[in-house]
Structure 1
Amino acid sequence: MLSSQRRRRNGGKSFRSKGHLRRWWKELDLVLWGVPVAMVILAGVLIASTQRQADYADWYHHWITAGLGCLVALLLARLPVQRLRPLLIPLYALTVLSLVAVRLIGTSALGAQRWISIAGVNVQPSEFAKLAAILLLAAVLDRHPIERPIDLMRPLAVISVPWTLVFLQPDLGSSLVFGALLVTMLYWADMPWEWVLLLLSPLATALLAGLWPWTLCAWLPLMGLLAYRSLPWKRLAASLTLALQGIVAVTTPWLWLHGLKDYQRERLVLFLDPTKDPLGGGYHLLQSTVGIGSGGLFGTGLLQGQLTKLRFIPEQHTDFIFSALGEETGFIGTILVVTGFALLMGRLLQVAREARTDFESLVVIGVATMVMFQVVVNIFMTIGLGPVTGIPLPFMSYGRSAMVVNFVALGLCLSVARRGHTRLNNW
Structure 2
Amino acid sequence: MDIFFNQAPFERLDWFEYGISSINRTGAFIACLIIACWIVSAVKQQWSFWVSLVLSSFFLYFLVQTQSRGALIALAIAFPVFLFFSGIKLDRIRIIALVCVCILFTLYSLQIGFADRISSMVAMESSSANCRADIYLSGLKMLTDAPHGFENIDSPAVIYYHWYQSPELSGRYVSMINSHLEFMCMHGILLKLSYIFFWILIFFLTFPKKGCIFSSVAFCVWGCFFISASFSNVTNYWPLWIAPILFLLSSLVENRNKLKNIKFWGSVFISTLLVALLLFVCSITLPRDGKLYFNGESVYIGNPSNYPILVLRPSSKILGNKLGMHLIAYAKENNKHVILSEQFKNMQYGTVVICNDYDEDEMEKIHANRIIFFNSDFSLGLQKESLSGKDVLVVLGEFCHWKNREDWRNMAKANPHIKLEIMECTADYIPDWTCYLKE
Q: TM-score if structure 2 supplies the norm length? A: 0.42
More helix by share: 1
Task: Please tell me whether Structure 1 or Structure 2 has the larger radius of gyration of its CA atoms.
Answer: 2
Higher relative contact order (CA 8 A, sep 6+): 1
Q: TM-score if structure 1 supplies the norm length? A: 0.43
